Homo-oligomer: A and B are copies of this chain.
Amino acid sequence: MRSTNTRSARSRPTKRSVNASATPTQSFHRVDAHLSLLEGAEETGWVEFKTNTRVERIEQDADSVTVYDQNGNAYRGVALIGADGVRSVVRQTYVNDQPRVTGHVVYRAVVDKDEFPQDLRWNASSLWVGPKCHLVHYPLRGGEQYNIVVTFQSRQQEEWGVTEGSKEEVESYFQDICPKARQLIGLPKSWKRWATADREPIPQWTFGRTTLLGDAAHPTTQYMAQGACMALEDAVTLGEALRVHGNDWGKALDLYQRSRITRTARIVLSGREMGRLYHAQGVERLVRNSLWKGRTTEQFYDAIQWLYGWNVDNCLSESI
């Protein structure tokens, strides 16, 4: 959810409000998004939350699904939506594929406006690219904070995961970049470090009364900045599929997967290509520059129309 225009999610932005805005994207802080979703779920009165509850086993019969947690407690329902993230137990149960570690490492930090360089306080998502690395910064919460996200191709063998970052490590990768971008590296007091991975897109998410959603269905690299967006689109689409099929779960879960698999695979595969473009070196770098140079804003938007043109009215279709 990167943006050329920012706004707090406290006003509960929907995909519709995003599409209606002057620029095709908006960004918001994930905490705000989470709170909006939580409030919305609570308002319905239909959602029960369980924390400290790890699903470990799944059983299905013709009419129901039962999951068992780490304490052996059973939860029975008419369907199971596995939205359990990149290390999904639900995916592991039905697909059991391996992650594809990229070797690309992301460092992220949030910096308050006052500490952020005056000459970079642009109300836009900004990208600096270099061989095997890039930097992104964009305002959060109406410009009160700035998110700094830097990525580099690691010198060492990486394993998928998130840890505390080290100032020394991140600095060592950005020695040779131009001073204007370089100044960002020194700002954060602490960094989080993600060694990224994705998985090959799969042709089936629905297994009986169980389906996958979000990162469990389509873990992706961060290059398209669409991981959470896809999870939200999934949820809207599943809702629509249930609506048009009058809550027939069998039909709805099938329509849901058919509507989502191609689109999310395109985003996952595009993410890989974006990573390659951002980090291009040598002659490939010249080609990348020639692709971008002189492009009008309109041409840029046209090229991502397939991405941002999605909305609830066209979500039940196999080829968007």
List CB contacts (< 8 Å) of A191-240 with chain B: 200-203
Residues A4-25 near B (CB distance < 8 A) = none
A201 contacts across to B, CB distance below 8 A: 282-284, 287
Tell whether A286 is near chain B: CB-to-CB under 8 Å: yes
Complex Cα distance A291/B263, Å? Answer: 10
In the complex, A126 has a CB within 8 A of chain B: no
Expressed in whole angstroms, the minimum distance between the Cβ of A59 and any Cβ of chain B is 28
Which parts of A268-311 form the interface with B (CB within 8 Å)?
Answer: 269, 282-284, 286-287, 289-291, 293-294
A293 neighbours in B (Cβ, 8 Å): 319
Which residues of chain B have C-beta atoms less than 8 A from A265's C-beta? Answer: 283-284, 286-287
Residue A266, interface by CB 8 Å: yes
Closest B residue by C-beta to A292? B319
Q: Is residue A123 contacting chain B, with contact meaning CB distance below 8 A? A: no
Complex Cα–Cα for A201 and B262 (A): 32
For the complex formed, measure the closest distance between the CB of A85 and the CB atoms of chain B, giving whole angstroms: 20
Does A106 reach chain B (CB closer than 8 Å)? Answer: no
CB within 8 Å of B: which of A248-269?
Answer: 261-263, 265-266, 269
B-binding residues in A (CB < 8 A): 200-203, 261-263, 265-266, 269, 282-284, 286-287, 289-291, 293-294, 318-320
The 6 closest A-B pairs by CB, nearest first: A201-B283, A290-B319, A262-B286, A265-B283, A266-B287, A262-B290
